[in-house]
Amino acid sequence: MLSFLSRRVLHAIPTLLGITLLLFVLFHWVGGNPVYRLLGKNANAVEIARMTHQLGLDKPFWNQYWDYLRDLSHGSFGRSWETKQRVSEMILDGLGPSLSLAIPAFILSALISLAMALTAALYRDRWLDRLLVVLSVCGMSLSVLTFIIAAQYLFAFRAGWFPISGWEPGLTGVPFLALPILIWVAASLGASVRFYRAVFLEEMRREYVVTARAKGLSWPRVLVHHVLPNAMIPILTQLVMELPMLFTGSLLLENFFGIPGLGNMSVNAINASDLPVIKAMTFIGSVLYIAANIVGDALYAWFDPRVRVS
């Protein structure tokens, strides 16, 4: 197992280097010269040359890339061109609000969708199953923006059940987070329920399930004690792959509900072409994605020894 993990970590290094190069090339050639934006409408030729030199943008491409790698290796993402803050501090500031929304939403979403999928599987081809499938398809068909705009207007503004927007740290923040969490859960249920239901149904066709039923066990008992543990491999893999998304936050939810998280920060950076922030977020997102892949593989190998052997 250890050698399996070591191999996967070693493979990640060239992947990460490739990502940094791709990121750098992309923003170097496609993003446009940031100096013109930084100096604004009143720039002149002397000031443009001066700022280009100050930012090191007059250095050869490979020197700039080397500087970028050197800074990354020191854990430095530089300073935002827009706000002049340290990017690492901006990320730390935004992490708390993002996670305060994402973690409860993720856990609730996983638990509810598993429960709904189990119910659908239990009552397969009956009206409850069909209703859940239809609702799931409807949920998948609506964009998250529709959920946000409608829920904010109806439940927060018209009904007054929730604050319209805002964020506070700690327990005082719960009322502010309640509606965005519910929206996150509602918007993500459709796809998850459909996927988990398919996994459960696949599992329920296996011979051990027939044996268990033949021994006289009830469907709910078979589902919870036998089907669920065996279905956990694809489900866990799916859940682990969703973990990096918790870090990047929900761009739309954070923007509409005024949650000062990383999604909100990323949108601002994109709108302002704030390349240090965009590069940092993309890089960290990539690292987390690779890490989630490794964890997913490890879980798979843990549950299924054939993977380790191959």
Partner 1 sequence: MKSRIISPPLALSVALLCACNPYQHQKNVYRGALSSNLKTFDPAQASDSYSNQCQFQIYECLYEYKYLARPYDVQPCLASSLPEVDDSGRDYTIHLRSDVEFQDDKCFPGGKGRRVTAQDFIYSIKRMTDVRTQTFGWWIFDGKVKGLNAFRDASEQLPPLPDSIHPALYDQKIEGLRALDDTTVRIELTRPYPYFKYILAMPYAAIIPHEAVDYYGEEFLNHPVGTGPFILKEWRRGLRLVFERNPNYHHGFYPTTGEPGDSAAGLLEDAGKPLPFLDRAEFYIYEETQPMWLNFLRGNLDRSAIPKDNFSQAITPEGLRPDLLQKGIHAHQMQELDISYICFNMEDSVFTRDRKLRQAMQLAYDVETVIDRFYNGLGIRAQSPVPPGLFGYDSAFRSPYGHFDPEAARKLLTEDGHPGGAGLPELSYLTVAGTDARQRGEHFVQNMAAIGVRVKVESCTWPEYLERLRRKKFQLVGSSWSADYPDPENFLQLLYGPNAPPGENNASYRNPEYDSLYQRMAVMSDSPERLTIIRRMKSIVAEDCPWILISHRTTEVLAYDRVHNVISHPILEAPLKYYRVD
Q: Which region among 13-21, 82-90, 128-136, 221-229 touches partner 1 (by CB under 8 A)?
A: 82-90
CA dihedral 42, 68, 88, 48 (to 10 degrees): -10
Contact 78, 276 (CB under 8 A): yes
Residue entry with tokens 């805002």: 166
Instruction: Indicate the residue among 182 and 236 with the shorter CB distance to partner 1.
Output: 182
Of 78, 94, 180, 244, the one binding partner 1 (CB under 8 A) is 94
CA distances 286 to 129, 245, 293, Å, are 38, 11, 10
167 near partner 1 (CB under 8 A)? yes
> Considering the complex, what minimum distance in angstroms separates the CB of residue 276 from partner 1?
13
Of 36, 61, 66, 208, the one binding partner 1 (CB under 8 A) is 36
CA dihedral 101, 19, 274, 83 (to 10 degrees): 70
Kindly provide the b/e burial profile for residues 225-246, where b requires at least 16 CB atoms within 10 angstroms of the residue's own CB: ebbbebbbbbbbbbbbebbbbb
265 near partner 1 (CB under 8 A)? yes
> Considering the complex, what minimum distance in angstroms separates the CB of residue 201 from partner 1?
33
32 near partner 1 (CB under 8 A)? yes
CA dihedral 94, 73, 12, 64 (to 10 degrees): 100
Of 100, 136, 250, 255, the one binding partner 1 (CB under 8 A) is 255
Contact residues toward partner 1 (CB under 8 A) are 31-34, 36-45, 47-48, 50-51, 54, 82-85, 90, 93-94, 149, 152-153, 156-157, 161-168, 171-172, 174-175, 178, 255-261, 264-265, 267-268, 272-273
